[in-house]
A and B are shown apart, each in its own frame.
Chain A
Amino acid sequence: MPGGRDASSVAGEEARAVHAEAMSERILEATFACVDRWGIAKTTVEDAAREAGVSRATLYRYFPGGRDELIAAVVGFEFARFFDRLYDEVRDAASLEEVLERGIGFAHQAVVGHAVLQRILATEPELLEPTLTIEGSQILGAIAEFLVPYLERHELAPGVDVAEAADFLARMALSHITSPGRWDLADPAQLARLVRVELLAGIAPAPVR
Chain B
Amino acid sequence: MDGARPEGAHEPAVARVVRLGGDDRSSQRVRIVDAALRCIGAQGLQKTTADDIAREAGISRATLYRTFPGGKDAVLAGVVETEVARFFSALAVTMGEADDLEDVLVAGMVEAAARLRSHEPLARLLADEPGVVLARLSFAKLDGLLRVASDFAAPFFARWLGPDEASRAAEWAVRIVISYLLSPSQGFDLADAGQTRRLVATFVLPGVVALGALGDPAP
Contact residues of A between 62 and 79, Cβ < 8 Å to B: none
Task: Please determine whether A171 and B171 come into contact, CB atoms closer than 8 angstroms.
Answer: no
- Does A115 sit at the interface, judged by CB under 8 A? no
Task: Please determine whether B179 and A202 come into contact, CB atoms closer than 8 angstroms.
Answer: no
Shortest C-beta distance, A110 to chain B (Å), equals: 13
Query: Of B134, B138, B185, which is in contact with the most chain A CB atoms at under 10 Å from its CB?
Result: B138
- Does B216 sit at the interface, judged by CB under 8 A? yes
Shortest C-beta distance, A89 to chain B (Å), equals: 21
- Does A137 sit at the interface, judged by CB under 8 A? yes
Q: How many A-B residue pairs have CB under 8 A?
A: 112
Task: Please determine whether B147 and A181 come into contact, CB atoms closer than 8 angstroms.
Answer: yes
Task: Please determine whether B131 and A125 come into contact, CB atoms closer than 8 angstroms.
Answer: yes
Task: Please determine whether A171 and B183 come into contact, CB atoms closer than 8 angstroms.
Answer: yes
Query: Of A121, A175, A190, which is in contact with the most chain B CB atoms at under 10 Å from its CB?
Result: A175
Residue of A nearest to B164 (CB): A182
Shortest C-beta distance, B152 to chain A (Å), equals: 14
Shortest C-beta distance, A118 to chain B (Å), equals: 9
Shortest C-beta distance, A23 to chain B (Å), equals: 30
Task: Please determine whether A168 and B203 come into contact, CB atoms closer than 8 angstroms.
Answer: yes
**A129-B135, A132-B138, A202-B205 known; A197 vs B210 contact (CB < 8 Å):** yes
Shortest C-beta distance, A163 to chain B (Å), equals: 8
B123-167 vs A: 1/0 string, CB under 8 Å? 000000011101100111111001100100000000000000001
A181–B179 Cα gap in the complex (Å)?
A: 14
Task: Please determine whether A129 and B183 come into contact, CB atoms closer than 8 angstroms.
Answer: no
- Does A159 sit at the interface, judged by CB under 8 A? yes
**A175-B175, A178-B142, A198-B172 known; A203 vs B183 contact (CB < 8 Å):** no
A108–B85 Cα gap in the complex (Å)?
A: 32
| Chain B positions near chain A (C-beta within 8 angstroms) | 130-132, 134-135, 138-143, 146-147, 150, 167-168, 171-172, 175-176, 178-180, 182-183, 185, 187-188, 199, 202-211, 214-216, 218
Task: Please determine whether A129 and B130 come into contact, CB atoms closer than 8 angstroms.
Answer: yes
Contact among B183, B188, B207 for A137, CB-based, below 8 A? B183
Task: Please determine whether A165 and B203 come into contact, CB atoms closer than 8 angstroms.
Answer: yes
Q: Give 15 pairs: A residue, B residue, CB < 8 Å, sorted on A.
A: A126-B131, A126-B135, A129-B134, A136-B183, A167-B187, A168-B203, A171-B180, A171-B183, A182-B146, A182-B167, A193-B211, A198-B208, A201-B207, A202-B202, A205-B206
Task: Please determine whether B171 and A202 come into contact, CB atoms closer than 8 angstroms.
Answer: no
**A178-B142, A197-B211, A198-B172 known; A126 vs B179 contact (CB < 8 Å):** no
| Given A140-B183, A179-B139, A202-B204, 19 additional A-B pairs, CB 8 A | A125-B134, A125-B141, A129-B138, A130-B131, A130-B134, A159-B202, A167-B185, A168-B203, A171-B180, A175-B179, A178-B139, A179-B175, A181-B150, A181-B175, A182-B146, A182-B147, A182-B168, A193-B216, A202-B202
**A175-B175, A193-B215 known; A180 vs B143 contact (CB < 8 Å):** yes
- Does A57 sit at the interface, judged by CB under 8 A? no
Chain B residues within 8 Å of A126, by CB: 131-132, 135
**A171-B183, A197-B215, A203-B203 known; A181 vs B146 contact (CB < 8 Å):** yes
Task: Please determine whether A133 and B182 come into contact, CB atoms closer than 8 angstroms.
Answer: yes
Chain A residues within 8 Å of B139, by CB: 111, 121, 125, 178-179
Task: Please determine whether B138 and A179 come into contact, CB atoms closer than 8 angstroms.
Answer: yes
**A179-B142, A179-B146 known; A157 vs B183 contact (CB < 8 Å):** no
